[in-house]
Structure 1
Amino acid sequence: MSATLTDRYIAATLRGVPAEAHDDVRNELTGSIADAVEARIEQGESPDEAERAALNELGDPAVLAAGLADRRLQLIGPRHYLTWLRLLRLLLAIVPASVAVLVALGYAISGADVGDIIAESIVSGITAGLHVCVWTTLAFAVMDRLGAAGSPRWNVDRLPENRSTGRGLADLIAVAILMPVAAFAFVWDRYFGFIFLHGEAYPIWNPALWPWWMAAVFVLFAMAIVVQAVVFVRGRWTTRIAIVNTALQVMGASWFLTLLGRGELFNPEMLEVLMVESGVTSETLRVLAVVFGFFGVCAIAAGGIIDCWLKTARDARTA
């Protein structure tokens, strides 16, 4: 004889219940289902329809078994969830980007192609992010199952301080001062130089960059001041302003990295004198250039982009 729906339901429920509780659960479920079926038959339903409706009302036997066994159907409970989420966000903001930069730097120093550098850094960053998610979640799941204590009880002393959204006058003043100072430094370097060897001054930047390459830099400086002025006038960051600022950061970084990759950024006469005077090899100079590009230009551009989008998000929330 084939098993009835009730028999199959009880058997499925018992799979998730400890063996010592099987008899009690079987007897309780059998009685409850029988009462529910009988009540529905009295209301005019057929026995088959009544049985099916009663079992549907009880729901998934795995969920019922978990409730009977006092077993949580969750990977991480509320006691640890917020701590897990905050830590995961922090690690994802730091680890993948750091790994990608270090891998790219290693491949660049080894002389790999640009395509290989980009591909390997992206793959490494994604892999690092996956590892962060898996191992962080696994650690908290184990803590939750072992019953480890959660975070301390919350109180008002843990409220974060209100942070400036960056729409004040300070940012405009800072940019309005720094950009002209940087432009003046480029002009001074062109005509007077910053490197002095044997009584002779050498420009750091390649004189061949004048006038057009340097004109592009000065245009970017001016546009950066305009962006901060618009933010100050509007009183907040907007998505459009953030996009323009991101484009400026990318163009500025591209300017440096393009010339750096082509070997046209620094003054060749200065490099030659440094190599002769200090014994520095061309390979060492190449490594220093790579370090300068990744940790200087890219870090500054990335910082500017992240900062403007964070301010945009905060201003959108407070608008």
Structure 2
Amino acid sequence: MTATADYAERYLAAVSRALPASSRPELLAEVESSIAEQVEPRVARGESREDAERHVVAALGEPIAYASSLIDRPMWLIGPRYYAAWLRLLRLLLVIVPLCAVGGSVLGQLIARASVGEVIGSTVAVLIGTIVHVAFWTTLVFFVLERTGSTGESVLDWSPDQLPLPAEHRAGRNELIGSLVFLALVPLAMLWDVLLGFFPTGAAPVPVLMPSPWTWTVILGFVVLEAVFAVVLFLRRRWSMALAVVNTVLAVGFAAASLTLLIRGALVNPEFMAFVTRAGGDGFAQGEQGSTAQGGVFGILAAILGFCLIAFPAWDIADGWLKLRRAGAGGGTAATRAE
């Protein structure tokens, strides 16, 4: 059986996340025992364990609905038929839509050179408004589906293949290889920038990145630290509180260092900006003049770059803590199996 097809473990982890912490260990033990009692006879009759587990968990149904039945939790906000599908979609939208809306709002305010108070006020208003709209319209759609008697098969369809992978599989070899390959591309791109350049100049290459020892030391230092972190994560096989904290420190450190370089003019090569100005001609000069209220074209680009230097580390931090939460929610299954 492949690691990605361990349906019983993945189903237990999904059910675990929908159970209250106080009763989670006992209920998970019962569910695990029930699944084993149904799987083993099938295996004894010659069915593969993968197929047996898939059939059993498919019969149990959607994990959220099954967890609610274990604790007698009513699912009547939308109706029992649509509750699990509504909750899954709402959770997904509340992660994606407010994040995109807030990011766009902050970037627009930065380009407009708004004050800190204006940025915070606008961000809070957009965040609250987006959450309210997402919750209202998503709920309304499911309300209409239920009241009109729509079957909604595409919404209600669920299969064991939709179960998320266990935390230890998400920190596997493929993730390590991907991380190391990406990190290796950073110094290669920096060498390419210095030796060959990314833009034709008709003469010697003009690096985009500031060719100073301090800039290179900061960037390559964080590349090495991230590579070490990726190896440690692979060896540990799963996220822990210590790894989540280290990941947060690395992300915050990178954001602070890169922003400091950007603000001090030590990140982007001034010679490259002068080359762009000369190559742009009259059209570029008109664009620069037309955007003087936002600090000129370079001011707008600096705001976008600064936003990215904050947004990507913030996403990395959130991703680490979410993976830790999932690992903690699924940890009870491993503990139960060990017993």
Superposition TM-score tier, normalisation by shorter sequence: 0.5 to 0.7
**Structure exhibiting the larger radius of gyration computed from Cα positions:** 1
Describe the superposition over 1:194-224 as per-residue Cα deviations: whole angstroms up to 9, x where unpaired. 44413121111123xx333432222211111
Kindly state the Cα deviation for residue 250 of structure 1 after the two structures are TM-superposed.
Answer: 2.6
RMSD of the alignment, in Å? 3.1
Aligned to 1:123: 125
Aligned to 1:291: 304
Kindly state the Cα deviation for residue 262 of structure 1 after the two structures are TM-superposed.
Answer: 4.7
Aligned to 1:173: 177
1:186 to 184, 190, 214: 190
Aligned to 1:140: 142
Q: Give the whole-Å Cα distance in 1 for the aligned partners of 2:253 and 2:75.
A: 50
Please say which of residues 254-263 and 216-225 is displaced more in the overlay: 254-263
Q: Give the whole-Å Cα distance in 1 for the aligned partners of 2:269 and 2:309.
A: 18
Counterpart code for 2:176: L
Q: Give the whole-Å Cα distance in 2 for the aligned partners of 1:307 and 1:203.
A: 33
Contact 2:215/2:267, CA 8 A, preserved across alignment: no
Q: Tell whether 2:201 aligns with 1:197.
A: yes
Aligned to 2:106: 104
Kindly state the Cα deviation for residue 160 of structure 1 after the two structures are TM-superposed.
Answer: 1.6
| C-alpha spacing 1:223/1:204, structure 2 compared with 1 (3 Å) | same
Describe the superposition over 1:263-309 as per-residue Cα deviations: whole angstroms up to 9, x where unpaired. 44211111012111113244223223333343x43453344334433
| C-alpha spacing 1:178/1:75, structure 2 compared with 1 (3 Å) | closer
Contact 1:83/1:151, CA 8 A, preserved across alignment: no
Contact 1:231/1:237, CA 8 A, preserved across alignment: yes
Aligned to 1:214: 216
Aligned to 1:305: 317
Please say which of residues 186-195 and 170-179 is displaced more in the overlay: 186-195
Please say which of residues 211-220 and 81-90 is displaced more in the overlay: 211-220
Q: Give the whole-Å Cα distance in 2 for the aligned partners of 1:74 and 1:157.
A: 23
Aligned to 1:149: 150
Kindly state the Cα deviation for residue 257 of structure 1 after the two structures are TM-superposed.
Answer: 3.2
Counterpart code for 2:237: G
Contact 1:79/1:151, CA 8 A, preserved across alignment: no
Contact 1:80/1:150, CA 8 A, preserved across alignment: no
| C-alpha spacing 1:75/1:167, structure 2 compared with 1 (3 Å) | closer
Q: Give the whole-Å Cα distance in 2 for the aligned partners of 1:73 and 1:303.
A: 32
Please say which of residues 214-223 and 267-276 is displaced more in the overlay: 214-223
Contact 2:215/2:266, CA 8 A, preserved across alignment: no
Q: Give the whole-Å Cα distance in 1 for the aligned partners of 2:102 and 2:79.
A: 32
For 2:205, what is the secondary structure of its paired residue?
strand
| C-alpha spacing 1:290/1:156, structure 2 compared with 1 (3 Å) | closer
Counterpart code for 1:181: L
Aligned length: 244
What TM-score, normalized to structure 1?
A: 0.65
Contact 2:215/2:261, CA 8 A, preserved across alignment: no
Q: Give the whole-Å Cα distance in 2 for the aligned partners of 1:73 and 1:166.
A: 31
Aligned ranges 1:16-55 → 2 under 5 Å = none
Aligned to 1:94: 96
Structure 1: gaps spanning 5 or more residues: 1-71
Q: Identity, % of aligned pairs?
A: 34
Contact 2:101/2:130, CA 8 A, preserved across alignment: yes
Contact 2:195/2:205, CA 8 A, preserved across alignment: no
Kindly state the Cα deviation for residue 233 of structure 1 after the two structures are TM-superposed.
Answer: 1.6
Contact 1:75/1:141, CA 8 A, preserved across alignment: no
2:235 to 222, 233, 236: 233
Q: Give the whole-Å Cα distance in 2 for the aligned partners of 1:73 and 1:195.
A: 59
Contact 2:194/2:205, CA 8 A, preserved across alignment: no
Counterpart code for 2:327: D
Greater relative contact order: 1 or 2 (C-alpha under 8 angstroms, separation 6 or more)? Answer: 2
Q: Give the whole-Å Cα distance in 2 for the aligned partners of 1:93 and 1:74.
A: 23
Kindly state the Cα deviation for residue 114 of structure 1 after the two structures are TM-superposed.
Answer: 4.0
Q: Give the whole-Å Cα distance in 1 for the aligned partners of 2:75 and 2:323.
A: 39
Please say which of residues 300-309 and 76-85 is displaced more in the overlay: 300-309
Counterpart code for 1:235: R
